[in-house]
């Protein structure tokens, strides 16, 4: 009976892990703080997800005008150019260049204690493509950036 219980427990754990992993592959969850850092340097999503979500939590206390964070996804090659052009959009424009085809996805700009979420179609990403995520608040992308890996 003890053996059976253990086996059932193991099965349950495996099932839970499988569900968690599948969910994670359709969501890019990041935390930003008052030290101008994201909690992750790398994220992985699946291009087969009908919808991919970006969830950003600002764990700091500073307002968006001082230490605002957002998450943009571009190809790695476009990161520097988009970061530069984002400045013109200003806080009111969430530091996201309007109608810029290089921006694959972008969240709103948030301040300390806030959360934001946006979704975009998984088909906007290609398996094996060279993508980056970063914060486009002026000066932040040097530290607040990471590699986005896209799997099948």
Q: Are strands 72-75 and 105-106 parallel, antiparallel or unpaired?
A: antiparallel
Which residues 52-111 are close enough to bind Cu ion by CB under 5 A?
Answer: 69
The whole-angstrom separation of Cα 144 and Cα 35 is: 10
Site for Cu ion in 119-148 (CB under 5 A): 135, 137, 140, 144
Of 44, 48, 28, the residue nearest 135 (C-alpha): 28
| Residue 104 near residue 148, CB atoms below 8 Å | no
Nearer to Cu ion, 52 or 144 (CB): 144
Least separation in angstroms between CB 113 and Cu ion: 15
Total residues binding Cu ion (CB under 5 A):
5
Of the pair 47, 58, the CB lying nearest Cu ion is at: 58
- Comparison of 45 and 83: residue with beta carbon closer to Cu ion: 83
> 128: which residues sit within 8 A by CB, 6+ positions away?
150
Residue closer to Cu ion (CB basis): 69 or 94: 69
Q: Smallest distance, Å, CB 90 to Cu ion? A: 14
Closest residue to Cu ion, based on beta-carbon distance: 135
Nearest approach in angstroms of CB 141 to Cu ion is 8
Smallest distance from Cu ion to CB 152, Å: 31
Alpha-carbon 139 to chain mean position: 18
Residue closer to Cu ion by CB (options 60, 125) is 60
In 118-151, which positions are buried (b, 16+ CB within 10 angstroms) versus exposed (e)? eebebeebeeeeebbbbbbbeebbeebbbebbbe
The C-alpha atoms of residue 44 and residue 142 are separated, in whole angstroms, by 20
Interface residues toward Cu ion, by CB under 5 A: 69, 135, 137, 140, 144
């Amino acid at each position: 009976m003890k053996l059976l219980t253990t086996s059932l427990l193991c099965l349950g754990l495996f099932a839970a892990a499988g569900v968690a992993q599948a969910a994670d592959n359709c969501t890019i969850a990041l935390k930003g703080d008052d030290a101008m850092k994201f909690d992750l340097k790398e994220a992985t999503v699946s291009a087969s997800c009908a919808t991919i979500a970006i969830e950003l939590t600002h764990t700091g206390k500073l307002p968006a005008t001082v230490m605002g964070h957002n998450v943009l996804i571009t190809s790695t090659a476009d990161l520097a150019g988009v970061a530069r052009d984002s400045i013109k959009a200003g806080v009111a424009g969430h530091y996201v260049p309007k109608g810029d085809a290089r921006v694959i996805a972008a969240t709103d700009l948030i301040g300390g204690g806030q959360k934001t979420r946006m979704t975009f179609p998984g088909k906007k990403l290609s398996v094996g493509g060279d993508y980056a995520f970063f914060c486009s608040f002026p000066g932040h992308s040097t530290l607040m950036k990471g590699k986005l890996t896209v799997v099948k």
